[in-house]
Amino acid sequence: MPISLAALLPTLPALKHIKRYWVAYSGGLDSHVLLHSLAAQRPLPGGAELRAVHVNHRLSGHAADWAQHCEAQCIALGVPLQQLIVDARAEPGESPEAAARHARYRAIAELVQAGDCLLTAHHQDDQAETLLLQLLRGAGPRGLAAMPMLAPFADGWHARPLLGTRRDELLAYAEKQGLHWVDDESNVDTGFDRNFLRHDIFPKLKQRFPAAASTLARSAGLCAEASELLDLRAQADLDGLESEEGTLSADGLRGLGEVRARNALYHWIRQHGKATPSAAQMARIWQDVLGSGADSQPLVIWAGVALRRYRDALFLGEAERMPEQPSTVQWPVGEGGCHDLRFAGLGVLSLGEGVAGTAALSLLRGPLTGHTLEVRFRQGGERLQPAGRRGRHALKKLWQEAGVPPWRRDQQPLIFLRGELIAVAGLCVAEGYAAEVGDESLWLTWKPEQPSG
């Protein structure tokens, strides 16, 4: 009998607060057993609602039949079903398995809200296979920890209640209950690494080591404990190294030594929700980003993530180029200011009453009201006289003085009045347009999207 949610509550207290469970339902043996078992246990702990979600990857000619099967089974069980269709085509260099997994979880994440928990039917044999795959890929303790029983997901949680259950136990349950499930033909294609282990390697391991699945799963649990200790060490090392802007001190990392620095960097990158670098990429970060001269601006890119260094600060962001922006945006100024301007992928520019957010800069109401401002981005050669300073200065010099990294300079809006540069969002305002805080001031505020790289 598959484990019940009630039995998990003492070990996974977070489940006590769940109001809705989503079962990832493919229609295959494992997920069908999980859904059938939970449906039979209703009412669920805390009166939580039970729902199913089926993701159609459109990779098989049988996909429509599987969707119909899932709908029929959910109707029979009295479980509401949400069906999603995704584009699971692999990008160049991406495995089909990974592409399908990423597409599936991205789609399901849109459903999972606060108080929700996604349930997947990963079992003990899956855990053992994952450990072997990670071992063959040269993973460290974090990778060898394989799949956690419970982890944050979207705005809720993701639980795997069957991790302690063997696949043969699920099959026995299904046969006893007279269940019908679908078989995905791709599951027997040994061209996929996991299927190769499952069909060609694991049966031989079980012949020689009958408890292979449970012992490998136990090893994954021990690696998870080691990973937790590494995270605690990393967090302690990061204390005092991260700025309020979210950058990391390169000098501080060097002072930790290579092993601890790599561990801290891995934890920091994961904390920011980014894909983590491979061992080879981490070696490049240590050598090229942390090891290069003070005047260099090194960059390492992996899986859409960019890690840059400017002076002593490490910046983590997206590898994509800045989204295309209009060359000029007209911005009329009324008595109360202007409507907010949103620049896709960059941030929001505001001009109005009071102080909102950070890097707020005041502009006199008098010279602006009734005029139309122009918002542009850097073309090169711009100059202005900052309030409180003598003479006009090149914008490039002002950015250097403020420590603004070169790749962010093209992302800061420039505000013009009658062709004259009067302000740089988030940096400075020109002489003649500055004011103290007061009723006669409008406040220019630039809120960049985070992270902005």
Note the pLDDT of residue 435: 66
Cα 450 to Cα 142, 275, 346, 395, 436: the distances in Å are 27, 16, 9, 24, 29
Same domain membership, residue 309 and residue 197: no
In a domain, 232, yes or no: no
Does this model's pTM top 0.85? My answer is no
Q: Are residues 375 and 354 in the same domain?
A: yes
Q: How confident is the model at residue 93 (pLDDT cuts 50, 70, 90)?
A: low
On whether both 187 and 45 belong to a single domain, the answer is yes
Q: Which residues contact 226 (CB under 8 A, 6 or more apart)?
A: 141, 145
- Tell whether 227 is covered by a domain: no
343 and 205 share one domain: no
Q: 262, 294, 318: which is the final residue of a domain?
A: 318
Q: What letters, b where the CB count within 10 A reaches 16 and e where it falls short, cover 304-324?
A: ebbbbbbebbbbbbbeeebee
Q: Is 10 a domain residue?
A: yes
Q: Is residue 70 part of a domain?
A: yes
Domain co-membership, 177 together with 287: no
How big is the chain, counted in residues? 453
Q: Where are the alpha helices (DSSP H) in 84-211?
A: 96-109, 124-136, 141-144, 167-177, 193-196, 202-208
Using a pLDDT cut of 90, give the percent of the chain over it.
50
Domain assignment of residue 233, yes or no: no
Which among 41-50, 314-323, 359-368, 399-408 has the top mean pLDDT?
A: 41-50
What is the reported pLDDT for 453?
A: 52
pLDDT of residue 359: 47
Task: Write down which residue in 298, 318, 338 finishes a domain.
Answer: 318
Q: How far is CA 68 from the centre of its chain?
A: 32
Is pLDDT of 281 > 60?
yes
Residue 374 confidence (pLDDT): 93
- Look up the CATH number of the domain holding residue 203: 3.40.50.620
Residue 36 belongs to a domain: yes
**For residue range 192-240, what is the model confidence (pLDDT) as tens digits?**
888 899 899 989 999 999 999 999 999 999 999 999 999 999 999 999 8
407 with 426, same domain? yes
Domain range holding 421? 329-448
Question: 153: pLDDT confidence band, cut at 50, 70 and 90?
Answer: very high
CA distance 333 to 331: 7
Q: Residue 252 sits in a domain of what CATH number?
A: 1.20.59.20
Q: What angle do CA 7, 152, 169 make, to 5 degrees?
A: 40
C-alpha span between 378 and 395 (Å, rounded): 9
Same domain, 118 and 191: yes
273 and 159 in a common domain? no
Is there a single domain that holds both residue 29 and residue 61?
yes
Q: What percentage of the chain exceeds 70 in pLDDT?
A: 94
Average pLDDT, the chain: 87
